[in-house]
């Protein structure tokens, strides 16, 4: 366990987060899913265009598909958050899509960067319009919207990085997504949509929610000057289990990318470029132009990973794969 002051730690090892979750669909032959305006009543995998939901919420609320109705409700609520609204508008403008994956747990999700698609974990139909169900979907959706915003601005980790650098970058992005999630939840709370914040403060991210709220109690302006966001970002690294799980899932994604790119030109770019640490602060950029991570180089061991022997072994295995690719190329 890492220690820093002030910290509020929880014993859980299963973070209630979207970030880094690895979908079994990544092992599929490709992302060849039919584009449909509506899911089946059982939530079969498909795509909903976020722009259609955004512009036709009245129609979506009357759909037979409970997932479609849930997303229409969520999008309406997210417009009450200035930060979520800007992230949402970017996804709308870019033609991003949303769907469900029955292979992902209900409290998790996955963002497909190459396809601007967010998959959320499937949950029981009876939960869809409940506050609990909406909260579960919101966690994945908000984090997915932030991932898309990062990707569209070129701030996401690239497979051209070495595996360890890719993991370093992905770890920071995971912390950023969780920080953004808490800011959106706090803004929604101020507008009367309290269920997401209640779930965060009572769930596996309770330590982050507590640190975020404590920073606001000390200075009300912390909500606007980036202090609360930075506190939440740093707190993500306080639990070793979060880091270990994120690193393991990130390496899994990197390894699967090596498999998927076999025979493709982009395979030559894998692990071919160094990590420019001076650029990592860019991921703190917000839609309003402010940057809560400005000036951060992330050289402190607080942000380091690979302190788990099993994960280190996996890293060495992937590095060996990469060295063989380099020789072959």
What percent of the chain is predicted at pLDDT more than 70?
A: 85
Question: How many CB atoms neighbour CB 274 within 10 A?
Answer: 9
* Token pair of 307 as six digits: 């302190």
Q: Is-contact 103 26, C-beta < 8 A?
A: no
Shared-domain flag, residues 152 and 171: no
Shared-domain flag, residues 47 and 191: no
Question: What does the pLDDT look like over 75-110, one tens digit per residue?
Answer: 999 999 999 999 999 999 999 999 998 888 887 889
Shared-domain flag, residues 161 and 277: yes
Shared-domain flag, residues 215 and 272: yes
Alpha carbon distance 156, 166 (integer Å): 10
Alpha carbon distance 279, 241 (integer Å): 27
Shared-domain flag, residues 127 and 205: no
Shared-domain flag, residues 141 and 290: no
Shared-domain flag, residues 241 and 148: no
Question: What is the predicted pLDDT for the residue at 33?
Answer: 34
- pLDDT surpassing 80 at residue 45: no
Question: What is the predicted pLDDT for the residue at 322?
Answer: 87
The mean pLDDT value of the chain amounts to 84
Shared-domain flag, residues 140 and 251: no
Q: Is-contact 111 118, C-beta < 8 A?
A: yes
Average pLDDT over residues 5-33: 33
What percent of the chain is predicted at pLDDT more than 90?
A: 63
Question: What does the pLDDT look like over 232-278, one tens digit per residue?
Answer: 999 999 999 999 999 999 999 899 888 887 777 777 788 888 899 99
Question: What is the predicted pLDDT for the residue at 328?
Answer: 54
* Token pair of 96 as six digits: 């991003």
Give whole-number Cα distances, 110 to 43, 192, 275, in Å: 16, 28, 24
Question: What does the pLDDT look like over 267-277, one tens digit per residue?
Answer: 778 888 889 99
Question: How many CB atoms neighbour CB 313 within 10 A?
Answer: 10
Edge to edge, the sheet with strand 109-112 lists: 48-49, 97-101, 117-121, 109-112
- pLDDT surpassing 80 at residue 51: yes
Exposure b/e, 168-195, CB count within 10 A at least 16 = b: bbbbbbbbbbbbbbbbbbbbbbeeebeb
Q: How many domains does the chain have?
A: 2
**Structural domain boundaries enclosing 120:** 18-156
Boundary-marking domain end, from 128, 156, 184: 156
Average pLDDT over residues 309-320: 94
Average pLDDT over residues 4-8: 32
Name the pLDDT band for 176 (thresholds 50, 70, 90): very high
* Token pair of 182 as six digits: 């808490």
Helices within the chain (DSSP H only): 50-55, 57-60, 66-78, 82-93, 131-152, 163-190, 195-202, 206-218, 227-236, 240-260, 309-328
Name the pLDDT band for 304 (thresholds 50, 70, 90): very high
Name the pLDDT band for 62 (thresholds 50, 70, 90): confident
Boundary-marking domain end, from 131, 156, 181: 156
Boundary-marking domain end, from 134, 156, 178: 156
Shared-domain flag, residues 79 and 228: no
Alpha carbon distance 155, 95 (integer Å): 19
Shared-domain flag, residues 30 and 146: yes
Shared-domain flag, residues 164 and 104: no
Shared-domain flag, residues 203 and 273: yes
Residue 167's Cβ-side half-sphere holds a number of Cα atoms within 13 Å equal to 27
């Amino acid at each position: 366990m890492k220690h820093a002051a002030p910290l509020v730690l929880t014993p859980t090892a299963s973070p209630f987060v979207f970030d880094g979750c690895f979908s079994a669909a990544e092992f599929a032959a490709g992302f060849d899913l039919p584009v449909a305006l509506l899911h089946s009543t059982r939530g079969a995998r498909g795509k909903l265009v976020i722009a259609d939901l955004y512009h036709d919420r009245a129609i979506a609320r009357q759909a037979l598909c409970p997932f479609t109705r849930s997303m229409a409700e969520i999008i309406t609520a997210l417009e009450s958050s200035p930060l979520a609204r800007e992230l949402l508008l970017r996804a709308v403008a870019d033609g991003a899509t949303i769907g469900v994956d029955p292979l992902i747990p209900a409290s998790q999700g996955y963002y497909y960067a190459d396809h601007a698609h967010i998959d959320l974990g499937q949950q029981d139909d009876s939960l869809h319009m409940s506050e609990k169900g909406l909260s579960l979907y919101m966690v994945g959706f908000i984090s997915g919207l932030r991932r898309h915003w990062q990707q569209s601005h070129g701030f996401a980790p690239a497979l051209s990085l070495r595996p360890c650098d890719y993991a370093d970058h992905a770890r920071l992005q995971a912390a950023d997504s969780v920080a953004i999630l808490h800011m959106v939840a706090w803004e929604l709370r101020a507008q009367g949509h309290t269920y997401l914040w209640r779930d965060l403060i009572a769930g596996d991210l309770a330590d982050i929610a507590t640190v975020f709220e404590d920073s606001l109690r000390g200075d009300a302006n912390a909500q606007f000057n980036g202090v609360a966001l930075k506190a939440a970002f740093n707190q993500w690294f306080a639990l070793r289990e979060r880091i270990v799980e994120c690193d393991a899932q990130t390496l899994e994604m990197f390894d699967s990318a090596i498999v998927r790119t076999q025979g493709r030109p982009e395979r030559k770019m894998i692990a071919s470029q160094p990590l420019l640490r001076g650029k990592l602060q860019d991921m703190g950029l917000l839609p309003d132009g402010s940057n809560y991570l400005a000036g951060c180089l992330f050289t402190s061991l607080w942000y380091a990973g690979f302190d788990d022997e099993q994960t280190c072994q996996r890293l060495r295995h992937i590095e060996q794969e990469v060295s063989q690719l380099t020789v072959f190329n």
